[in-house]
Amino acid sequence: MPSGSAPRAMAIDAPGPAQVVPLAPGLLWARVALPLVLDHVNIYLIEDDGGWAVVDTGVSGPATRAAFAALLSGPLHGQRFTRLIVTHHHPDHIGHAGQLCADHGLPLLTSLTAYLSCLTLLSNPSRLGDGFYADFYSRHGMAPDVAERMKGWGKHYAGLVGAPPTTFTRLLAGDRLDIGGRVFDILSGDGHAPEQLMLYSRADNILLAADQVLLGISPNVSVWPTEPDSNPLGHYLRSLADLAMVVPDDALVLPGHRQPFFGLHARIAELRAHHEVRLSELLGACVGAQPSVADLVPVLFDRPLGPGQLAFAFSETHAHVNHLLQSRQLALADAAGPLRYSAPRQAS
- Across the chain, what does the average pLDDT equal? 94
**Per-residue pLDDT, 106:** 98
Q: What is the dihedral of CA 92, 95, 96, 101, to 10 degrees?
A: 120
Q: How sure is the predictor about 34, in pLDDT bands with cuts at 50, 70 and 90?
A: very high
Pick the CATH number of 8-342 from 3.40.50.2000, 3.40.1030.10, 3.60.15.10, 3.30.70.360: 3.60.15.10
Question: Could you give the maximum distance between any two Cα atoms of the chain, in Å?
Answer: 71
**Lowest-confidence range among 3-12, 154-163, 171-180, 206-215?**
3-12
Predicted TM-score of the model (pTM): 0.94
Ranges of H-type helices in the chain: 62-73, 91-94, 97-104, 112-123, 130-139, 144-149, 232-246, 264-286, 293-300, 307-326
* 295 pLDDT above the threshold of 60: yes
**Per-residue pLDDT, 4:** 57
87 CB-side CA count, 13 A? 33
**Per-residue pLDDT, 125:** 67
**Per-residue pLDDT, 1:** 38
* CB neighbour list of residue 145: distance below 8 Å, 6 or more residues apart: none
**Rounded (5°) CA angle 138-285-222:** 50
Mean pLDDT of 204-226: 97
Region of 153 on the Ramachandran plot (φ > 0 left; ψ -120 to 50 alpha; else beta): alpha
What is the C-alpha separation between 123 and 106, in angstroms, rounded? 23
**Per-residue pLDDT, 118:** 96
Q: What is the dihedral of CA 119, 125, 129, 131, to 10 degrees?
A: 100
**Per-residue pLDDT, 345:** 67
Q: In this predicted model, which residue has the larger pLDDT, 304 or 290?
A: 290
